[in-house]
């Protein structure tokens, strides 16, 4: 592979240009000196552009300014990449990028540039690089081996709590913050539960009124009920559960389960609560086969409001 040729000195180029302007041909000079005839032609053409005699290219000043801007652009692009990686590092590990980040990326970017951007002393970095690892660092390295094994056995599903529990079962008692830190630095994370928004009121529907005014207490049973719905992840999918709780006794008076979260699931829990506490609401007009919640609501209405 041919090595890079050292540029000819500016004084030598100027002499070649003067000889051509004095009447010597580039071919004749190429036989006498080292540069090729094409190189001498290029020098002469550039000198004419600098003198304003030609307008088919950039002058030396313009070309130097263009090269300077290109160098600055490359430098800014590199600094932007470093800061983007540092931001990702801080987001994933929840720690400030410092000497460890510089060491991990020193093969890609200049050390002094990274130290300047991250406000890390370059001399301090090189001193840290030559310093032997501390006892705590060696202990972290050994602990990380166990953490990686547990994480791999769980098929990358265990987070900090389960990893720490597995370590305790192996007789390794460590703090949760230390396990979390080592997992962050190693890029290990467990599977996060996918939260589903189950309560979505349509804009055209009016919100339900707050009948109790946020006063959740009762003086006797069956005076105030509260209800809620949740979902339970299973191997077959989500199981939705609704419950009706008596505020006075804190007892679940009704519940319902289904594979959906539609209105009939809520009413099933209400039916169970009504049947368990007040069947069939004392309404002599109750007809068999009619949902109990409908009969009780119908019984509570004035007679002229029934249909």
Q: Take residue 31 and report the two structure tokens written for it.
A: 């036989």
Quick count: other Cβ atoms within 10 Å of Cβ 148? 15
The per-residue pLDDT for range 150-187, each reduced to its tens digit, is 999 998 889 999 999 999 999 999 999 999 989 988 88
Q: How far lies 206's CA from each of 21, 76, 202, 267, in Å? A: 92, 55, 8, 19
Q: Take residue 16 and report the two structure tokens written for it.
A: 């070649």
Q: Which residues contact 279 (CB under 8 A, 6 or more apart)?
A: 292
Domain ranges of the chain: 10-57, 63-130, 135-186, 225-305
In a 3-state reduction of DSSP, which class is residue 133?
A: coil
How far apart CA 240 and CA 251 sit, in angstroms, is 20
Q: Note the pLDDT of residue 83.
A: 92
How far apart CA 200 and CA 203 sit, in angstroms, is 9
How far apart CA 128 and CA 107 sit, in angstroms, is 17
**Which stretches in the chain have pLDDT values below 70?**
1-4, 193-201, 278-307
In a 3-state reduction of DSSP, which class is residue 243?
A: strand
The per-residue pLDDT for range 235-282, each reduced to its tens digit, is 788 899 999 999 999 999 999 999 988 888 988 898 888 888 764 444
- Please, where are the H alpha helices in 131-191? 135-153, 160-169, 176-186
- DSSP conformational letter for 282: T
Question: Euclidean distance between the first and final Cα of the chain, in Å?
Answer: 99
């Amino acid at each position: 592979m041919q090595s890079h040729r050292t540029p000819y000195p500016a004084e030598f180029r100027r002499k070649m240009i003067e000889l051509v302007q004095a009447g010597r041909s580039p071919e004749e000079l190429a036989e006498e000196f080292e540069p090729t005839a094409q190189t001498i032609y290029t020098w002469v053409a550039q000198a004419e552009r600098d003198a304003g005699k030609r307008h088919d290219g950039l002058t030396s000043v313009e070309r130097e300014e263009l090269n300077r801007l290109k160098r600055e652009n490359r430098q800014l692009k590199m600094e932007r990449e470093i800061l983007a990686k540092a931001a990702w590092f801080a987001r994933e590990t929840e720690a400030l990028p410092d000497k460890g980040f510089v060491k991990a990326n020193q093969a890609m970017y200049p050390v002094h540039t990274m130290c300047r951007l991250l406000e890390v002393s370059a001399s301090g970095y090189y001193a840290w690089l030559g310093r032997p690892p501390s006892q705590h660092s060696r202990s972290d390295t050994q602990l990380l081996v166990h953490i990686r094994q547990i994480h791999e056995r769980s098929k990358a599903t265990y987070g900090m709590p389960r990893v720490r529990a597995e370590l305790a079962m192996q007789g390794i008692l460590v703090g949760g913050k230390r396990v979390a830190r080592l997992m962050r630095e190693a890029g290990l994370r467990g599977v996060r539960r996918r939260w589903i928004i189950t309560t979505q009121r349509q804009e055209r529907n009016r919100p339900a009124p707050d009948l109790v005014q946020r006063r959740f207490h009762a003086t006797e049973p069956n005076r105030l009920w509260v209800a809620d719905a949740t979902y339970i992840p299973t191997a077959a999918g989500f199981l939705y559960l609704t419950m009706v709780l008596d505020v006075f006794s804190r007892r679940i008076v009704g519940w319902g389960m289904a594979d959906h979260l539609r209105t009939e699931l809520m009413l099933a829990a209400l039916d169970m609560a009504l049947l368990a506490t007040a069947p069939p609401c004392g309404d002599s007009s109750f007809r068999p086969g009619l949902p109990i919640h409908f009969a009780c609501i119908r019984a509570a209405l004035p007679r002229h409001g029934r249909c």
